[in-house]
Structure 1
Amino acid sequence: MRRRTAIIETALGLAAAVMLCGCAALANATQAGSPASSGSTSAGTAAAELRLGYFANVTHAPALVGVEEGFLQDALGDTRLSTQVFNAGPAAIEALSAGAIDATYIGPNPAINTFIKSGGASAVVVAGAASGGAALVVREGIDSADDLAGTTIATPQLGNTQDVALRSWLSAEGYTTDTMGGGDVHITPTENAQALALFQSGQLDGAWLPEPWVSRLVLEAGAHVLVDEAELWDDGSFPTTVLLVNRQFFDAHPQTVRDLVAGHAASVTWLNDDPDAAAASINARLTADTGKALSNEVLQRALHHVSFTTDPVAAAFPQLLEAGVTAGTAKKGELDGLFALSILNALRADAGEDPVSAGGLGTE
């Protein structure tokens, strides 16, 4: 408890220390015409409430422990935290765009889609959250890409990050797909828990999913991994989850956004510093949100395949956009201004950490 309190107090202190720095960055970006940091050049007012979305997935562990351990609420102070759990990114984006939530943990492809569709007016990425932890798992008898013709494969939702990854990989393997479930391989967007049940009953041949669902299909349903997505990236690092904030909220309440980023950073630090306690906390929050804990075997396997980091791996986003366009789930567009990392990097600097890159697509 003492260590947890120290992490929170440090994050809050650093957030206060970057107040003027963040405001200056906003002002400079506005003068330069950067859409990612346009709007208020003052500290603004703290929001009365921050409505946060996340998924009940291990890839969203910074949100899970941030809520369960109080890192987020403690950092937000008098701003009340309320939460909503989603199954996949497109649904969370609908809520964010409709004003039902103010920020959300989300995969990169839905973040890209909303940014492009709105001409950069909808939301900005303020931090990374997780890297890795996604794979294509299949039934017995499928041992290579050559065995996939005519199969039915699930993804969490049309246009979500795993859906795009599957479509892109199948295209590279010479298969055709379409967004209506046709083509050489039939892709059926399916809620994660239902995908597990359908696979167990033999109605699915496989699924491209995030953790812990990869591990659940492997350990509970006899699936095996055909493609670990990490193998498709040069250094094995790819963004799975980022922290996305509604643009209007970002402009109106920069102080609250700073507090949110500070609480998020504290959650990531705690996850990496105390993995045993983190695993228990993740399971406690999953139980509260879904009514069921993960087995220790599933949880440990899932955590082994996910890295928690505040780096959004911005350099990967143009490739992710290209994959979405090729898959037919995204439109061509510019990503300039998608990232607003000045708050995060000021926190990292005061903590003695190196800055993370916006990949030329926003402020650092």
Structure 2
Amino acid sequence: MTVRHPHPPSSSSATARAPRRRRRLSAALALPLAAVLAASLGACSSDDASGKASDQGPASALRLGYFANVTHAPAVVGVAEGTFQKDLGSTKLSTQIFNAGPAAIEALNAGAIDAAFVGPNPAINAYVKSHGDAIRIVAGAVYGGAQLVVQPDITSAADLKGKDLATPQLGGTQDVALRSWLTDQGLKNSVSGGGDVTITPTDNAQTLQLFQDKKIDGAWVPEPWASRLVLDGGGKVLVDEKTLWPEGKFLTTNLIVSKKFLDEHPETVKGLVQGEVDAVKWIQDNPDEAPKVVNEQIEKLSGKSLSDDVITRAWANITTSVDPLASTLQEVQDHGVTAGTTQKADLKGIYDLRILNSILTADGQPTVSAGGLGEE
């Protein structure tokens, strides 16, 4: 039996099919490669070539931190009167109450909030520790309204030697003010304890109770707690902080925003700042009603309202303003260095007042300065 072997394919026909196989293989490889590239590009779409987060449009929500204090009046009023939510439009506003600035900064760094009303010292610390990446100051809020209130038998700085004092929180604005002032008076103190004067960071409500029970000798606190120590606790003012500053102006409260949130949602930040501008204007246009609204909100948030005498005294000690008093920030930082709660560092870039100034300009109001420490 004869077996016929098929003829092998000619070299010309094999060569003709090879490019087709290569084309099919190339096409097959191209599909997953394109998917990988698309995914990579998608992952980087929120950043520009410099690595800066790009504008992603309005945020679906904004989480705001503030204190139930007179010194946070624009925040309290802005929430109560709805100016924030009105100007935020479809962005949902949620709020969280804090006792002091360092706690609010911790929440912001952890991504639990997007913006907060805090004092200048916590803002400086957040900026310095993050090498400028964490926050930007986008507006001022309140200046004035902090005092060192002591027991009636204390009449001078020298009398504080061996005494126990309180502040709202270590590294907070009032804590730094007290430690810096004590150092200037020749009284040693330390963030780790010890020294001529003992300073214990204490919740404001607890400070009042301890003061009334004579378990502490005094406290450097913001309003309305300074007024409560005087009127409800029988204390007296040893130092009104305004006496330590030119023209009596010292910043108590800023509005800060996460830098990432500002980069990604500038339109939402504009709504927030507009809401504060509107709240400050409402306060200034309603001088009799404003303290009542703040007092009602303090009762709602803390469970107890202030007496008429306390709210009247406290309100007289503050000024609401969106000007962050940037020219004073370097001295504020110097106080923090003296107090041992911060380190010396370049603050250039900490302010971004462009949104605020665009709003003020559109409203026919004077713009505010960044004092050479940022954009305006």
1:39 offset after TM fit, Å?
Answer: 4.2
Aligned counterpart, 1:16: none
1:325 offset after TM fit, Å?
Answer: 1.1
Secondary structure (helix, strand or coil) at the match of 1:78 reads coil
Paired with 1:343 and 1:101, the residues of 2 have a C-alpha distance of 20
Q: Which runs of 4+ in 1 moved over 4 A?
A: none
Paired with 2:121 and 2:324, the residues of 1 have a C-alpha distance of 12
Q: Which residue of 99, 104, 123 corresponds with 1:92? A: 104
Paired with 1:363 and 1:351, the residues of 2 have a C-alpha distance of 20
Taking structure 2 as the reference length, what is the TM-score of the superposition? Answer: 0.86
Aligned counterpart, 1:223: 235
Aligned counterpart, 1:101: 113
1:298 offset after TM fit, Å?
Answer: 0.4
Paired letter, 1:317? L
Pair 1:204-2:216 in alignment:
yes
The count of corresponding residues between Structure 1 and Structure 2 is 329
Structure 1 residues 60-75: aligned runs within 5 Å: 60-75=72-87
- Does the 8 A contact of 1:155 with 1:189 survive in 2? yes
Aligned counterpart, 1:328: 340
Paired with 1:335 and 1:72, the residues of 2 have a C-alpha distance of 29
Aligned counterpart, 1:311: 323
Paired with 1:147 and 1:280, the residues of 2 have a C-alpha distance of 38
Aligned counterpart, 1:80: 92
Which has more radius of gyration? 2
Paired letter, 1:150? G
- Does the 8 A contact of 1:68 with 1:284 survive in 2? no
- Listed as ranges, the gaps of 5+ residues in structure 2 are 1-47
Secondary structure (helix, strand or coil) at the match of 1:124 reads strand
Secondary structure (helix, strand or coil) at the match of 1:221 reads coil
Alpha-carbon deviations, 1:267-304, whole Å to 9, x = none?
A: 01111110211112111211221111111110010010
1:180 offset after TM fit, Å?
Answer: 2.4
- Does the 8 A contact of 1:337 with 1:362 survive in 2? yes
- Does the 8 A contact of 1:133 with 1:240 survive in 2? yes
Q: Which residue of 91, 115, 137 corresponds with 2:127? A: 115
Aligned counterpart, 2:356: 344
Aligned counterpart, 1:11: none
Q: Which residue of 43, 49, 55 corresponds with 2:67? A: 55
Paired with 1:79 and 1:166, the residues of 2 have a C-alpha distance of 39
Secondary structure (helix, strand or coil) at the match of 1:85 reads strand
Aligned counterpart, 1:185: 197
Paired with 1:174 and 1:280, the residues of 2 have a C-alpha distance of 41
Taking structure 1 as the reference length, what is the TM-score of the superposition? Answer: 0.88
- Listed as ranges, the gaps of 5+ residues in structure 1 are 1-29
Q: Which residue of 134, 156, 167 corresponds with 1:155? A: 167
Paired with 1:181 and 1:74, the residues of 2 have a C-alpha distance of 47
1:146 offset after TM fit, Å?
Answer: 1.6
Aligned counterpart, 2:279: 267
- Does the 8 A contact of 1:139 with 1:223 survive in 2? yes
1:181 offset after TM fit, Å?
Answer: 2.6
> How large is the Cα RMSD of the aligned pairs?
1.4
Aligned counterpart, 1:125: 137
Paired letter, 1:338? I
Aligned counterpart, 2:185: 173
Greater relative contact order structure (CA < 8 Å, 6+ sep):
1
Pair 1:136-2:156 in alignment:
no
Percent identity between matched residues is 55
Alpha-carbon deviations, 1:162-209, whole Å to 9, x = none?
A: 000000000000010001231001111100000000000010000000
Which stretch of structure 1 is more off in the superposition, 204-213 or 352-361? Answer: 352-361
Paired with 2:53 and 2:149, the residues of 1 have a C-alpha distance of 45
Aligned counterpart, 1:3: none
Paired with 1:45 and 1:349, the residues of 2 have a C-alpha distance of 23
Paired with 1:205 and 1:46, the residues of 2 have a C-alpha distance of 49
Paired with 2:95 and 2:147, the residues of 1 have a C-alpha distance of 27
Paired with 2:137 and 2:204, the residues of 1 have a C-alpha distance of 25
Aligned counterpart, 1:26: none
